[in-house]
Homo-oligomer: A and B are copies of this chain.
Amino acid sequence: MKASIITIGDELLIGQTVDTNSAWLGSELSILGFDIYRKITIHDRREDILEALEEVKGKADVVLITGGLGPTSDDITKQTLCEFLNTKLVPDHEVLAMIETILTRHNFPMNENNRRQAEVPESCQVLKNSVGTAPGMWFEKDKTIFISMPGVPYEMKYIMTDQAIPRLKKRFTSQVVIHRNIMTYGVPEARLAEILTGFEASLPEMIRLAYLPSYGIIKLRLTATGSDNTLLTNILNTQIRKLYEIIPDLIFGENEELLEVVIGKLLKEKGRTVCSAESCTGGNIAHMLTSVPGSSLYYKGSVIAYNNNVKQELLNVPAEIIEKSGAVSEEAVSKMAEGARKLLKTDFSVATSGIAGPDGGTESKPVGTIWIAIASERGVVTEKHIFGSDRKVNITRFSVAALNLLRKQIISH
**Cβ A388 vs Cβ B24 within 8 A:** no
- One digit per residue, 1 when the CB lies within 8 angstroms of any chain B CB and 0 when it does not, for chain A 289-315 equals 111011110011111111101100010
- Name the segment of A84-92, A188-196, A239-247 touching the other chain: A188-196
Q: Are A26 and B12 in contact (CB under 8 A)?
A: yes
Q: Does A412 contact B (CB under 8 A)?
A: no
Q: Give chain A interface residues in 339-381, CB to chain B under 8 Å.
A: 343-345, 357-359
Shortest distance from the beta carbon of A356 to any chain B beta carbon, whole Å = 8
A200 on the interface (CB 8 Å rule)? yes
Q: Which residues of B contact A310 (CB under 8 A)?
A: 300-301, 344
Q: Contact: B211 with A179, CB < 8 Å?
A: no
Instruction: Select one of B12, B191, B302 contacting A303, CB under 8 A.
Output: B302
Known: A71-B193, A283-B285, A301-B310. A18 touches B20 (CB 8 A): yes
> Which B residues are CB-close (under 8 A) to A111?
190-191, 194
**Given the complex of chains A and B, what is the CA–CA distance between A117 and B388 in angstroms?**
18
Residues of B within 8 A of A102 (CB): 388
The answer to whether B105 touches A386 (Cβ under 8 A) is: yes
> Does A175 belong to the interface (CB within 8 Å)?
no
Q: By the criterion CB–CB under 8 Å, are A27 and B11 in contact?
A: no
Question: Looking at the complex, which one of B17, B283, B389, B390 makes contact with A286 (CB distance below 8 Å)?
Answer: B283
Which among A43, A112, A282 has the highest number of chain B CB atoms within 10 Å? Answer: A282
- Is A301's CB under 8 angstroms from B296's CB? no
A170 at the interface (CB under 8 A from B): no
For A, the interface residue count at a CB cutoff of 8 angstroms equals 114
In the bound assembly, the distance between CA atoms of A285 and B37 in angstroms comes to 41
Tell whether A73 is near chain B: CB-to-CB under 8 Å.
yes
Given A37-B43, A131-B393: A200 and B73 interface contact (C-beta under 8 Å):
yes
A74 & B133 in contact (Cβ 8 Å cutoff): no
Given that A37-B42, A287-B282 are contacting pairs, would A22 and B15 also be in contact in the complex, using a CB cutoff of 8 Å?
yes
Is the CB–CB distance between A70 and B213 below 8 Å? yes
Q: Please determine whether B301 and A290 come into contact, CB atoms closer than 8 angstroms.
A: no
**Per-position 1/0 for A232-250, Cβ under 8 A of B:** 0000000000000000000
Q: Are A358 and B293 in contact (CB under 8 A)?
A: yes
Contact present for B73 and A194 (CB under 8 Å): no
Nearest B-chain residue to A36, judged by Cβ: B13
**Quick one: given A307-B301, A345-B309, are A17 and B291 in contact (CB under 8 Å)?**
no
Closest to A187 in B: B108
Contact A210 B11 (CB under 8 A): yes
Is A38's CB under 8 angstroms from B40's CB?
yes
**Any B CB within 8 A of the CB of A324:** no
Query: Closest CB-CB distance, A86 to chain B, in whole Å?
Result: 25
Q: Does A144 contact B (CB under 8 A)?
A: no
Q: Say how far A354's CB is from chain B's closest CB, in angstroms.
A: 12
A409 at interface (Cβ–Cβ under 8 A)?
no
- Given contacts A282-B286, A286-B282, A343-B314, are A113 and B11 in contact (CB under 8 A)? no
In the complex, the answer to whether A26 meets B14 with C-beta atoms within 8 Å is yes
Q: Does A39 contact B (CB under 8 A)?
A: yes
A211→B71 CA distance, assembly (Å): 9
15 residue pairs A–B, Cβ–Cβ below 8 Å: A13-B38, A15-B30, A16-B23, A16-B210, A37-B48, A39-B41, A72-B211, A73-B193, A108-B188, A278-B283, A282-B289, A283-B284, A291-B391, A300-B306, A300-B309
17 further contact pairs, Cβ within 8 A, besides A108-B191, A283-B286: A13-B37, A14-B30, A19-B22, A39-B40, A71-B190, A72-B211, A73-B200, A74-B211, A105-B386, A106-B188, A130-B389, A131-B393, A283-B287, A291-B395, A299-B306, A301-B306, A301-B307
The 4 closest A-B pairs by CB, nearest first: A282-B290, A283-B286, A15-B27, A283-B283
